[in-house]
Every structure is written in structure tokens, then in C-alpha cells.
């Protein structure tokens, strides 16, 4: 029997092993997460480090809370009206509560309509500006918020760079966290440049419209709100049509934002605009305001003058100032007409309060814009015969009578160098025995020279110094004819001695100063000094009254109880007249800057006296003068 074979056992087929996909995927995910964390940490570190680096040189943000920009010093006349400003940046600070309600709303509508909604940066505006710039192919829109503009204006340079942009973003964020929206907007409205040298809305309102910001109407507000984007391109004084188009844009934006109704926008757009000619004010007051600036700078220094926003009340009477400008211009043109000259001469006028020395009017030339040189203060010219009353006053102080008679005969004086000086009267005639009274009334040179010899040079020079003349006077006999140059302000100030019974009041141009906090500081007053006895002043006044009534100053007749003296230098180079009442003392000078004759016959009586009369008649209404004491005539033989 054959043995049975055992059936062969088939090997069991094991299923193939699948790769561990799940674990590999899990590993990749871990790696990616790990790398992302690393990248995030690196990015965060780089960003933090960059922010820290950029913040190293950032200004202290806390300084904005004590906002102290360059603020305009404002000059007022004695009635409180603005006559000028002193500034590096023409800015007048204005609080938010003093702004008309529509003014900040107009600027927000024009510059940053979502200002009250976004933070320091407006992402939507930045994105929109980016897209528009891509479409136009140039950088036409910036997307800066008002907060960014404040940051840029106050704390960063104007140099454009990515580094500055980064600093601007960081600092704007800090500013937005530190100050309220209203505070930031207030700074913006005081800081923004609006053209024509005006910084901030208050200065712009006064520059363009001659009024305060709170007095602006909607049409004017919209015009100003359109300026920040490009003050030169949209200047209403230079590009009126572009300014009007921008004004319409602002009004439409305000209407779209619901700030005003469409009807209000239409009415405002069609409302006429009246611009203020601030150049005319500068022309009228320029010589005086520059003189005030010099006085302030001497006392306070330039830095304080430009930074602290002082309000300076001056002594100027604007009505009299306007009359003075017109009188000088008319006088200069009259000389040009008489002489048929191609060019009119220059002129100057100073009017002082006889009892205080306050400068009421000052004109230093015929055109401040072309020649700011102040001929009333800076120029030193020979005064001619207007100096003579000081000589006569010194003589009367020594007891010499106005009725003393001196022989008016040819005179020859031997000079130290061996030569001879042979002076003569203006008429080149001699008049024989002449009283001192008539010698001064008719401006006789020979008698005055002899009187100076009798009185002495030193007493006259000392009296002139006490009367405010600081220019050096040469101790020589030609002093009798006004040979030593002086300024018009000095000479006019000296005449106040006669107008106020022998007292000299130094000329002053400022009464008080108010700082930005409202504290008032009086300007240091100058004590009046007695120069001559009251009787001497009355004697001189009586004689100078006759100068106008019957002497060389007859062309100045017409002002009650006035007194004055003419002056003319050799070859009619300078023409003077100084006259006064108990209220006002006014000096006038006409001449050419470069030593040229005014022309034949252009004496002080013909040329300067009419200017004085024109000014005094135009605006001055002096009070009734006290009786002018005359000295009884008597003939006394003398030299």
C-alpha cells in the first residue's frame, strides 16, 4: 500500500506594509508651524528693533501738549486797531472754542473726512491713494491724515524718505494716543500754512479778509479750507479761478458730509469775496512799525519777540498817520511839478504829543516798499534855520532880552587857518539895527551868528543835549546856521520844549505790552526834564507865532495859536518846517537823498511849511491854546 502524501501547506501571503503617511504629514505640519513661528518671531524682532531704532531720535512727544510755536507779535495803534506784525511765521494762536463752528468742519471735510472715525492712520485712504497713484502713474495723492500732517509739521524735517515715513507713522500713533482729536485738530488749524506768509486760520483770516476768524462767513471759510493742499496754486490773490474751483469742492464735500445743506453751499459759492489789501497797511505804517520793532528788540531780544506772541499797544494815531502819508506825498509831488523834475524828492514827517512825547505819526519816506530807509530817524541832515530857536533860548536863559538890538551888517570872521568866513543872509542883504525878535521872525543869519558869539557855543550845545539832540554838534560858529546834521525826530522832539513850557518829553512809541497769557506790562516811561524856564519857553513861542503870522512861515498860516520855524540849507538842499500847538508838535523835511538841490526858490517856507499845514488841517484838531505871552518891544543898542 502506497503511503499517502501529506498535502503541501501553501505559504500564507502576508499583505504588503503600507507607509506611515499620517506620521509623515504630521511631521511636515510641525515643521511648517515651527518655521512660521520662527519667521514670526524674527519678523516681530526685526519690527520691534526697527521701531526701537527709529524712535531713538524722535522728539519728545510730550512737548506737543505744551504747544509753543513761533507766534506773531501784534502791533496795535493807540485805539486798539492792528497796524502791523513782527514775525518769522505770521501766526496768531486761536483756541478751538473761539473758532466759528463751521471752520474746523470745513477743513476736516476738505482734508480728512474720516478724521473723527479713524486712528492716527487711515488705512482705507492710504489704499485708495495707492490705487489712484497706480492708475495715474504718478504720486498724485498721499492719503495723509490730519494727525500725520500735525506730526510732520511739528516734529519732522520736510525731507521725503521711507525712514521719515516710518518715523511719521510711529509718532502719529503716539500723538493720537496722547491727545484728544479736538486738541490735535486745534494744533493743525494753528500750524497749517495757508499762503501769503500766513500760518494758521486766524492769521489767514486777517491776511486775506482783514477780519478775525470768528467773523468769517461760510464762503470765506470754504476758501481758506481749500488752501492747505497747495497754498500757492490756490491763492485767491494770484489764481482766483483755481481758488474758486477749490472753494466749490470744499462746499460740495461739506454738503455731502451733511455739515451744510446744498442750498447753503450754493449761496456761499455765489457770495462775493472781498480781499484785504494788507500791503497798503504796510505801506502806510511801515516806517513806524519798523521803528517799534527796533525798540522792542533792544529791550526783549529777537528770540522773545518772534516766539512769545506779544501784543504791543503803540502811541500811533492811525488817522493822523494816514494824513501824514498823504501830506508828504503831495508835498513831494508839488516840488517835482514846480521844478519840472524827472524824480520827486523824498520827504519825512514826525508828529509828537507836545505834553507826553508820544509819537502820533511817523513817515520816513515817500515809499516804504522801495526805500525802507527811515529819513525821520536814521537820516542826519543839516537843519538850517530850524536850529536857531535853541540859540535864542540859550541867550534868553542868560537874561538877554528878545528886544535886544544887534547890527545886521556885513560880517567877516577870521578862521584859525588864516582864511576868512563871510556869512550872509539868505536874501544877501543887510538890514542894519535888528531886534532879536525880528532876527528870528525873518531868519536873519548875521544877527544869529553875533548872538551865538555873545551867548557862547557851550551853553547852546548843552541846552540842545538836554532837549534830546544826541547827534554830535560841532562847537563852531556855523552852528548858528544849522551846519551840524541832526535827525528830524531829534529836532522835532526839541521843539516840544517850547510847546510844553520848557519841559522835554523824550519821544516814545510804545505804551504797554500784553503777553500771550494776558499779563500787561507798562512800557518804561521816561521822566520829563526841565530844559528852560517857562518864561523862556513863552518868549520863544511868542516869536515863533510871529514867524507864521508875518515872517518866513506865512505859508503855514491857518492853525489857531500855532508857532513854528522854517529852515533851508545851502543851495536849497534841505527844506524844513517844525511847528507846534500845545497839543501837537510836527516836523517836516523834504530833500533828495544824494545831496541834490530841490530847485530854485524851494525854501522851507515854500516847500515844507505847506506840508505841515496840510497835515495839521487834515486830521489834527488841537485844543484851544493858552494865551501866548508876548514881550513888549523896546529898542536896546547892542553889538
Residue 293 to residue 302: CA distance in whole angstroms: 9
Residue 236 to residue 428: CA distance in whole angstroms: 62
Burial of 601 (0-12, 13-18, 19+ CB in 10 A): exposed
The number of CA neighbours under 13 Å toward the Cβ of 259 is 22
Residue 547 to residue 556: CA distance in whole angstroms: 9
Residue pair 347/589 in contact by the 8 Å Cβ criterion: yes
Classify strands 413-414 and 90-91 as parallel, antiparallel or unpaired.
unpaired
Residue pair 486/375 in contact by the 8 Å Cβ criterion: no
Could you identify the residue written with the cell 466759528?
A: 100
Residue 451 to residue 391: CA distance in whole angstroms: 8
Marked catalytic residue, from 144, 385, 435, 575: 385
Residue 631 to residue 532: CA distance in whole angstroms: 17
**Cell for 189?**
488749524
**Residue 202 designated active-site:** no
249-255 contact pairs (CB < 8 A, 24+): 249/110, 250/106, 250/109, 250/110, 250/222, 250/223, 250/225, 250/226, 251/218, 251/222, 253/109, 253/110, 253/113, 254/102, 254/105, 254/106, 254/109, 254/222
Residue 391 to residue 402: CA distance in whole angstroms: 12
**Angstrom distances, CA of residue 31 to CA of 19, 263, 493:** 20, 66, 95
Beta carbons within 8 Å of 53's beta carbon, 6+ residues apart: none
**Three-class SS of 505-522:** CCCECEEEEECCCCCEEE
How far is C-alpha 358 from the geometric centre of its chain's CA atoms? 19
Radius of gyration of the chain from its Cα atoms, rounded to whole angstroms? 40
The number of CA neighbours under 13 Å toward the Cβ of 398 is 17
**Residue 117 designated active-site:** no
What residues are labeled active site? 111, 385
Amino acid at each position: 500500500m502506497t503511503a499517502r502524501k501529506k498535502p503541501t501547506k501553501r505559504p500564507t501571503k502576508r499583505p504588503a506594509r503600507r507607509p506611515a503617511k499620517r506620521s509623515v504629514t504630521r511631521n511636515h505640519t510641525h515643521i511648517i508651524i515651527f518655521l512660521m513661528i520662527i519667521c514670526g518671531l524674527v519678523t516681530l524682532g526685526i519690527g520691534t528693533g526697527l521701531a526701537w531704532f527709529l524712535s531713538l531720535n524722535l522728539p519728545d512727544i510730550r512737548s506737543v501738549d505744551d504747544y509753543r510755536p513761533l507766534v506773531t507779535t501784534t502791533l496795535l495803534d493807540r485805539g486798539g486797531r492792528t497796524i502791523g506784525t513782527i514775525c518769522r511765521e505770521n501766526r496768531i494762536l486761536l483756541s478751538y472754542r473761539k473758532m466759528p463752528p463751521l471752520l474746523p468742519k470745513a477743513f476736516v471735510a476738505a482734508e480728512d473726512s474720516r478724521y473723527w472715525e479713524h486712528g492716527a492712520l487711515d488705512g482705507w485712504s492710504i489704499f485708495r491713494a495707492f490705487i489712484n497713484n497706480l492708475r495715474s502713474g504718478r504720486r498724485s495723492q498721499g492719503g495723509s491724515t490730519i494727525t500725520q500732517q500735525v506730526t510732520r509739521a511739528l516734529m519732522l524735517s520736510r525731507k521725503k524718505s521711507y525712514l521719515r515715513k516710518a518715523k511719521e507713522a510711529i509718532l502719529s500713533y503716539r500723538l493720537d494716543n496722547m491727545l484728544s482729536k479736538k486738541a490735535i485738530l486745534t494744533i493743525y488749524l494753528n500750524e497749517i500754512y495757508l499762503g501769503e506768509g500766513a500760518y494758521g486760520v486766524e492769521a489767514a483770516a486777517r491776511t486775506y479778509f482783514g477780519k478775525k476768524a470768528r467773523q468769517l462767513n461760510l464762503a470765506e471759510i470754504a476758501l481758506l479750507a481749500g488752501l492747505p493742499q497747495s497754498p500757492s496754486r490756490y491763492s485767491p490773490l494770484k489764481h482766483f479761478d483755481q481758488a474758486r474751483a477749490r472753494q466749490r469742492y470744499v462746499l460740495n464735500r461739506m454738503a455731502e458730509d451733511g455739515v451744510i445743506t446744498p442750498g447753503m453751499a450754493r449761496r456761499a459759492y455765489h457770495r462775493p469775496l472781498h480781499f484785504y489789501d494788507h500791503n497798503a497797511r504796510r505801506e502806510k505804517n511801515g516806517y513806524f512799525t519798523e521803528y517799534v520793532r527796533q525798540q522792542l528788540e533792544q529791550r526783549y531780544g529777537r528770540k522773545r519777540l518772534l516766539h512769545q506772541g506779544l501784543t504791543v499797544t503803540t502811541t500811533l494815531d492811525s488817522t493822523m498817520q494816514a494824513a501824514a502819508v498823504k501830506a508828504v506825498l503831495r508835498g513831494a509831488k508839488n516840488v517835482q511839478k514846480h521844478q519840472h523834475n524827472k524824480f520827486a524828492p523824498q520827504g519825512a514827517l514826525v508828529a509828537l504829543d507836545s505834553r507826553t512825547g508820544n509819537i502820533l505819526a511817523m513817515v520816513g519816506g515817500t515809499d516804504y516798499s522801495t526805500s525802507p530807509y527811515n529819513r525821520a530817524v536814521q537820516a542826519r541832515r543839516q537843519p538850517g534855520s530850524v536850529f536857531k530857536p535853541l540859540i535864542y533860548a540859550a541867550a534868553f536863559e542868560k537874561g538877554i532880552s528878545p528886544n535886544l538890538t544887534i547890527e545886521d551888517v556885513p560880517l567877516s570872521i577870521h578862521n584859525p587857518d588864516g582864511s576868512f568866513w563871510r556869512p550872509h543872509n539868505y536874501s544877501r542883504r543887510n538890514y542894519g539895527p535888528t531886534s532879536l525878535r525880528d532876527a528870528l521872525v525873518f531868519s536873519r543869519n548875521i544877527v544869529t551868528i553875533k548872538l551865538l558869539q555873545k551867548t557862547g557855543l557851550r551853553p547852546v550845545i548843552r541846552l540842545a543835549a538836554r532837549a534830546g539832540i544826541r547827534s554830535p554838534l560841532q562847537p563852531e560858529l556855523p552852528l548858528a546856521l544849522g551846519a551840524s546834521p541832526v535827525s528830524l525826530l531829534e529836532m522835532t522832539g526839541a521843539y516840544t520844549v517850547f510847546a510844553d513850557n520848557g519841559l522835554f518829553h523824550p519821544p516814545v512809541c510804545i505804551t504797554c505790552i500784553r503777553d500771550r497769557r494776558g499779563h500787561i506790562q507798562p512800557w518804561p516811561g521816561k521822566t520829563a526834564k526841565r530844559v528852560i524856564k517857562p518864561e523862556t519857553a513863552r518868549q520863544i513861542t511868542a516869536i515863533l507865532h510871529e514867524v507864521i503870522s508875518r515872517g518866513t512861515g506865512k505859508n503855514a498860516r491857518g492853525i489857531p495859536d500855532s508857532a513854528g520855524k522854517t529852515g533851508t540849507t545851502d543851495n536849497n538842499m534841505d527844506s524844513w518846517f517844525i511847528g507846534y500847538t500845545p497839543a501837537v508838535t510836527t516836523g517836516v523835511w523834504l530833500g533828495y537823498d544824494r545831496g541834490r538841490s530841490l530847485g530854485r526858490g524851494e525854501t522851507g517856507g515854500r516847500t515844507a511849511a505847506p506840508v505841515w499845514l496840510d497835515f495839521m488841517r487834515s486830521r489834527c484838531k488841537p485844543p484851544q491854546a493858552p494865551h501866548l505871552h508876548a514881550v513888549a518891544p523896546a529898542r536896546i543898542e547892542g553889538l
